[in-house]
Copies of this chain bind each other. A is one copy, B any other.
Amino acid sequence: MTQQEIGNAIKERRKKLGVNQQTLADLASVAVNTVVAIERGEGNPQLATLLTILETLGLQIDINIKQLDYETV
């Protein structure tokens, strides 16, 4: 999962929950600029920042052994 994909996952989840960037930023106690950068894949957030935002959105990180990409299952 790349930084861009992580940003997309955050953006999609945020929209699914119906909150805007500013509200998410407030809830996660980070600056809206930080949220913007992460969602756009332009950011390189510190782990604590990322975890806080994910937590706010009800998301979590898992670490797994890299899997091959299966085109169709």
Summarize A's interface: helix, strand, loop or mixed.
mixed
Q: Which of B45, B48, B61 is A61 in contact with, Cβ under 8 Å?
A: B61
Is A54 in contact with chain B by the CB < 8 A criterion? Answer: yes
Complex Cα distance, B58 from A53, in Å, reads: 25
Interface size classification for chain A: 20 to 34
Q: Are A3 and B48 within 8 A (Cβ)?
A: yes
For residues 20 through 73 of chain A, which have their beta carbon under 8 Å from a beta carbon of chain B? 43-48, 50-51, 54-55, 58-67, 71, 73
Known contacts A16-B71, A58-B66; 15 additional CB pairs below 8 A are: A1-B61, A2-B51, A3-B48, A6-B61, A16-B73, A43-B47, A44-B48, A45-B47, A47-B47, A58-B67, A60-B64, A60-B67, A61-B62, A61-B63, A62-B63
